[in-house]
Amino acid sequence: MEEYLVKVKSVQKITPDVLQIVTEKPEGYTFVPGQATSISLNKFGWRKTDNPFTFTSLPEDEDLEFTIKTYPERKGLTHELLRLEKNDELMVHDVFGTISYKGEGTFIAGGAGVTPFISILRFLQLKNKIGENRLIFANKTKEDIILREEFSRILGARFINILSTEKTNEYANGRITSDFLLKNCLNPKSYFYVCGPPPMMDSVEKQLLDMHVDEKLIVKEVF
């Protein structure tokens, strides 16, 4: 497995528990929007601990960007990343991932499962090919919505939020249901891109199949 040492250029909190990390980009290193790599920290005791994270930058950008949800209570790598500073070093590895853009449809994300869609939607905007694509984004509270303003600019009314624990006048409340999907999806014969925690993935996939969505139109990545 290839390994590349990269220096951190900036670290920013974009929600209470999500970091946006920008690093150097190794020469010749490339990926397809939606793909990921394994990252470890170049620090004693952490070099052999790696977690998968999605690229949220574009392939043509001069830097790499990662948008990472942290879990301080687990005392793992993401907890250590909360201490990350400019000029610290990370190790990035080979590129992998099964989500890639195949055509217009509905992106369905739960929490940090939105990260594979960030690069894809930014790429489509850059190429002026957003079209009728839409994003259904499930979170606990409004504060948890990653890149809310940017998604609103890119997608407008096709950025659809649902909150499971907070009730607001802006967004739907509850969990994703078949009725909610039918009301907000592009159409059942278009693509569905799904990423999130396994229970949410299982529930959404079952609902899509119940809607008679062709299994070949469901593109998924377990987060």
Per-residue pLDDT tens over the stretch 132-186: 999 999 999 999 999 999 999 999 999 999 999 999 999 999 999 999 999 999 9
Cβ atoms < 10 Å from Cβ of 61: 14
Taking the alpha carbons at both ends of the chain, their separation in whole angstroms is: 22
Average pLDDT, whole number, for the chain? 95
Instruction: Please give the distance of CA 187 from its chain centroid, rounded to a whole number.
Output: 22
Is the per-residue pLDDT at 223 higher than 60?
A: no
Is the per-residue pLDDT at 193 higher than 60?
A: yes
Tens-place pLDDT, residues 6-16: 999 999 999 99
